[in-house]
């Protein structure tokens, strides 16, 4: 979480390694006959106008429920996917329109670690061979040097060099995830994108792997984008967190601000849903109700309004709030909620709509699906 880089901006922050602006990724829907007849052009708006910055040496977390667009965002900003719109700058290079050959050096410098490390390992090859392969593909090393590098990495992540000869099915889940880390680090990347890297592991193993991930960052000067649905997990590794809901970022800021002073009702519901959270817990908010919205036809105005315990009649359904600074906090703490415009007194005296009112709201908005 520290960096050796000496180029900082006016606020003494490390340089931006990745900067995505207004990024969108829409997937075309399989069109039915009626859609074709009536000329409707519908799509899944998985990521719908996101700004995201990762500075050198830092870890930025993306959290949100399943289906909120986290994986699509990670894959789009790293150009595994082609963006539908927006700009993506990696180390001062615009990469949003890059293709094929232009992306090759980016593939080497940006690596992925997935929930299931088996997806990156060939079941018929030894794990050593799988880890060594990118060295050949990217022309980085060959011969004895190649195997030396792989052996060093195995030891770095707490495996033994003799385990290079094992096949994936011979290893435990935790060992495989360590191999997954070797596979990602072997090309000496600048940015590693973790997509739910510990979600398949039990809590003890999670802690071990998260510690390892933190140590590797310091040892190799890495920047991380860390995707997880689990706030307890992101808390252990992230400097800053962005909360995603229905393809948009609804709140972002330094990890402590998100936990100690959450502003968006969605962030508060997520925090309330996790056990033993410290002072960020507001005992008065209700658990999150209802289902995540349709990504094809998201609710009008604030996309969270049908589920929001603090719904303000009219405004929330009619007008989409944009991210704005949270008073009194670090200027990097922003939330997109109409309540931020209200005075503290007004907020304190606000009575959320009753359950039945909300059910009506919810029903009327799901009719639109």
Of 49-57, 66-74, 100-108, 169-177: span binding ligand ADP (CB under 6 A): 66-74
Residue 321's binding partner, choosing from ligand ADP, Mg ion, none, with beta-carbon cut-off 5 to 8 A by kind?
A: none
Select the residue interacting with ligand ADP from 71, 223, 228, 269 (CB under 6 A). Answer: 71
Please identify, using beta-carbon distances, which residue of 93 and 291 lies nearer to ligand ADP: 291
In angstroms, what is the minimal distance from the CB of 229 to Mg ion? 8
C-alpha to C-alpha distance for 202 and 248, rounded to whole angstroms = 30
In angstroms, what is the minimal distance from the CB of 37 to ligand ADP? 23
Select the residue interacting with Mg ion from 3, 53, 68, 71 (CB under 5 A). Answer: 71
By CB under 5 A, is residue 78 in contact with Mg ion? Answer: no
In angstroms, what is the minimal distance from the CB of 246 to ligand ADP? 9
By CB under 6 A, is residue 67 in contact with ligand ADP? Answer: yes
3-state secondary structure the chain: CCCCCCCCCCCCCCCEEEEEEEEEEEEECCCCHHHHHHCCCCEEEEEEEEEEEEECCCEEEEECCCCCCHHHHHHHHCCCCCCCEEEEEECCEECCCCCHHHHHHHHHHEEEEECCHHHHCCCCCCHHHHHHHHHHHCCCCCHHHHHHHHHHHHHHCCCCHHHHHCCHHHCCHHHHHHHHHHHHHCCCCCEEEEECCCCCCCHHHHHHHHHHHHHHHHHHCCEEEEECCCHHHHHHHCCEEEEEECCEEEEEEEHHHHHHCCCCHHHHHHHHHCCCCCCCCCCCCCCCCCCCCCCCCCCCCCCCHHHCCCCCCCHHHHCCCCCEECCCCCCCCEECCHHHHCCHHHHHHCCCCCHHHHHHHHHHHHCCC
Tokens 């008073």 sit on residue? 327
Read off the tokens for 217.
């960052």
Residue nearest to Mg ion (CB): 71
By CB under 6 A, is residue 66 in contact with ligand ADP? Answer: yes
Residues 212, 197: contact at Cβ < 8 Å?
no
Residue 78's binding partner, choosing from Mg ion, ligand ADP, none, with beta-carbon cut-off 5 to 8 A by kind?
A: none
Diameter of the chain measured on Cα atoms:
71
Please identify, using beta-carbon distances, which residue of 30 and 327 lies nearer to ligand ADP: 30
By CB under 6 A, is residue 68 in contact with ligand ADP? Answer: yes
Q: Please, which residues have CB within 8 angstroms of residue 131's CB and are 6 or more apart in sequence? A: 150, 153, 154, 164, 179, 182, 183, 186
Of 70-78, 265-273, 326-334, 360-368: span binding ligand ADP (CB under 6 A): 70-78
Residue 167's binding partner, choosing from ligand ADP, Mg ion, none, with beta-carbon cut-off 5 to 8 A by kind?
A: none
By CB under 6 A, is residue 44 in contact with ligand ADP? Answer: yes
The contact pattern for Mg ion, residues 202-221, with x = CB under 5 A and - = no contact, is --------------------
Please identify, using beta-carbon distances, which residue of 227 and 312 lies nearer to ligand ADP: 227
Residue 67's binding partner, choosing from Mg ion, ligand ADP, none, with beta-carbon cut-off 5 to 8 A by kind?
A: ligand ADP
Residues of span 198-227 touching ligand ADP by CB under 6 A:
none
Read off the tokens for 132.
């060594």
Select the residue interacting with ligand ADP from 20, 46, 243, 335 (CB under 6 A). Answer: 46
By CB under 6 A, is residue 64 in contact with ligand ADP? Answer: yes
The contact pattern for Mg ion, residues 241-280, with x = CB under 5 A and - = no contact, is ----------------------------------------
By CB under 6 A, is residue 63 in contact with ligand ADP? Answer: no
Binding residues (CB under 5 A) for Mg ion: these are 71
Binding residues (CB under 6 A) for ligand ADP: these are 27, 44, 46, 64, 66-72, 295
């Amino acid at each position: 979480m520290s960096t050796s880089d000496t180029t900082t901006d006016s606020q003494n922050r490390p340089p931006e390694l990745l900067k995505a602006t207004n990024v969108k990724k829409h997937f075309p829907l399989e069109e039915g006959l009626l859609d074709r007849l009536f000329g409707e052009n519908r799509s899944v708006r998985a990521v719908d106008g996101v700004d995201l910055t990762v500075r050198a040496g830092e870890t930025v977390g993306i959290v949100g429920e399943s289906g909120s667009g986290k994986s699509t965002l990670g894959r789009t900003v790293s150009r595994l996917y082609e963006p539908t719109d927006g700009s993506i700058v990696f180390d001062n290079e615009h990469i949003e329109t890059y293709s094929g050959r232009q992306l090759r050096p980016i593939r080497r410098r940006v690596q992925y670690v997935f929930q299931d490390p088996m997806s990156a390992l060939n079941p018929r090859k030894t794990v050593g061979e799988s880890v060594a392969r990118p060295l050949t593909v990217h022309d980085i090393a060959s011969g004895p040097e190649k195997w030396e590098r792989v052996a060093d990495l195995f030891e770095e992540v707490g495996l033994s060099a003799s385990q290079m000869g094992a096949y994936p099915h011979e290893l435990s889940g935790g060992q495989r995830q360590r191999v997954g880390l070797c596979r990602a680090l072997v090309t000496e990347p600048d940015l590693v994108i973790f997509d739910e890297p510990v979600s398949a592991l039990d809590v003890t193993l999670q802690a071990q792997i998260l510690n390892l991930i933190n140590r590797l960052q310091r040892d190799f000067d890495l920047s991380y984008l860390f995707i997880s649905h689990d706030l307890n997990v992101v808390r252990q590794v992230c400097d800053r967190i962005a909360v995603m809901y229905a393809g948009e970022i609804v709140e972002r800021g330094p990890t402590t601000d998100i936990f100690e002073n959450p502003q968006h009702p969605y962030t508060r519901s997520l925090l309330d849903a996790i056990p033993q959270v410290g002072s960020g817990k507001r005992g008065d908010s209700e658990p999150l109700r209802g289902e995540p919205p349709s990504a094809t036809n998201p609710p009008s105005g604030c996309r969270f309004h049908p589920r929001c315990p603090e719904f303000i009649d009219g405004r929330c359904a009619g007008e989409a709030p944009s991210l704005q600074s949270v008073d009194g906090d670090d200027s990097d703490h922003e939330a997109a909620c109409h309540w931020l415009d209200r005075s503290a007194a007004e907020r304190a005296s606000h009575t959320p709509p009753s359950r039945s009112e909300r059910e009506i709201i919810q029903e009327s908005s799901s009719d639109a699906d």
